[in-house]
Structure 1
């Protein structure tokens, strides 16, 4: 299957590598392919230049966002950074029409100036915007009415999303939400190919609010277990 991954950060790379390992033809989208390939320094998160990743994964195609989406068979994974996602996706709305778009971003605002900060190992905990009455998943769906948006992957580190058995033998839960049942099933099928066995369908895209807001609880658990410890959450029913 031809699958597009938009973005070149660490999370996107986890999906790119796993999809290629599973035998898919992966088309990667970036704003400016030449600029991406010209970078020689790590990004703000310390991720090495993308050209080094490409050298280790031959056969991966690098395109603009629009060309990558158009090259897919109908499934696109969005790894564009949260503050640019809606605008960037809106500019390629025609290329995304009719396709399933999986979004996993948490709408964090970093270095917030707030009255009661939450200190973390890297500084003040980011705040969520939107929150409570809206979600990034819903914003993307409103901006792309002809695209079938599915929110998933968001409650885990992406390295664990593509390798769930690394935690507890895979016995933990992943969630999906979106307006289109067939698109949710498409995301579920992808998760199954990744190795997930417990996938909970939350229904409509409004449930993206809960998944995005869970990010703070995920951080709190991570701090309690030890910073950098990967873990899973299981819904027992």
Structure 2
């Protein structure tokens, strides 16, 4: 399948590498390909320059966002939450009639808060939107011709593409969306990643819960010690 991954951070790299390994035709989108290829220093998360990533993964194609989306049948959104809506709206024509998997968290960094949450890494960012809306729903309203599915967001992306790294894969991934066939496509991709427990949460409104879970995920991560990845298992009666 021709699949676009929008974003060149650690999460996008994890998906691009795994999809290539699985035999897909992988097209990565970035804001400015020339600028991305010109970087010679690690990014803010310590990832090596993207030119090195491409050299290590021959066969991945790098484009601007629009060209990557146009080349694909399925699109994975790894653009940061603060910029995702604007970036995706700008390429609406290239996304039309396609399934878009959104795993962005709508974090607002540097926001003034009455009761900030201090962490060892600075103040926990604010979720915006929250409670009465979600980023995934905003994307769906802005792009009515796109089939938006929220998934991947409750895990580190390295674990999404390799669930067996945690408890041999015995944990749960979630999907939510308004189009049944689109959710089926996403579930099949998760199956190919190695997920054996995928729970359909229903319509896209459930993305609110997945996005808000980001704070809980952060709290658990800090309690366990950052870098100690974990999974969440839904235990049925």
Q: TM-score, normalised by structure 1?
A: 0.97
| Aligned equivalent of 2:193 | 194
CA deviation after TM superposition for structure 1 residue 111, in Å:
2.9
**Structure 1 range deviating more: 106-115 or 130-139:** 106-115
Q: Figure out how many residues of one structure are paired with residues of the other and give that number.
A: 236
Q: Deviations over 1:67-115 (max 9, x none)?
A: 111111x210011121111111111111100100000011111233222
Q: Deviations over 1:165-220 (max 9, x none)?
A: 00001000000001100000100000000000000001111000000000111111
Distance 1:57 1:157 in 2: 21
Distance 1:119 1:216 in 2: 12
1:87 maps onto 2:82 in alignment: no
**Structure 1 range deviating more: 111-120 or 194-203:** 111-120
Runs of 4 or more above 4 Å deviation: none
| Aligned equivalent of 1:170 | 169
CA deviation after TM superposition for structure 1 residue 66, in Å:
1.0
Distance 1:36 1:8 in 2: 8
Distance 2:85 2:200 in 1: 24
Q: Which SS does the other structure have where 1:87 is aligned?
A: helix
Q: Which SS does the other structure have where 2:28 is aligned?
A: strand
Aligned ranges for residues 121-200 of structure 1 at < 5 Å? 121-200=120-199
1:19 maps onto 2:15 in alignment: no
Distance 2:86 2:215 in 1: 25
Distance 2:226 2:5 in 1: 28
| Aligned equivalent of 1:211 | 210
Distance 1:229 1:118 in 2: 21
Structure 1: which 5+ runs fail to align? none
| Aligned equivalent of 1:44 | 44
CA deviation after TM superposition for structure 1 residue 23, in Å:
0.7
| Aligned equivalent of 1:75 | 74
Q: TM-score, normalised by structure 2?
A: 0.97
Q: Which SS does the other structure have where 2:105 is aligned?
A: coil
CA deviation after TM superposition for structure 1 residue 42, in Å:
2.0
Q: Deviations over 1:122-177 (max 9, x none)?
A: 11111100000000000110111000000000000000000000000100000000
**Structure 1 range deviating more: 216-225 or 167-176:** 216-225
Distance 1:84 1:110 in 2: 12
| Aligned equivalent of 1:60 | 60
| Aligned equivalent of 2:117 | 118
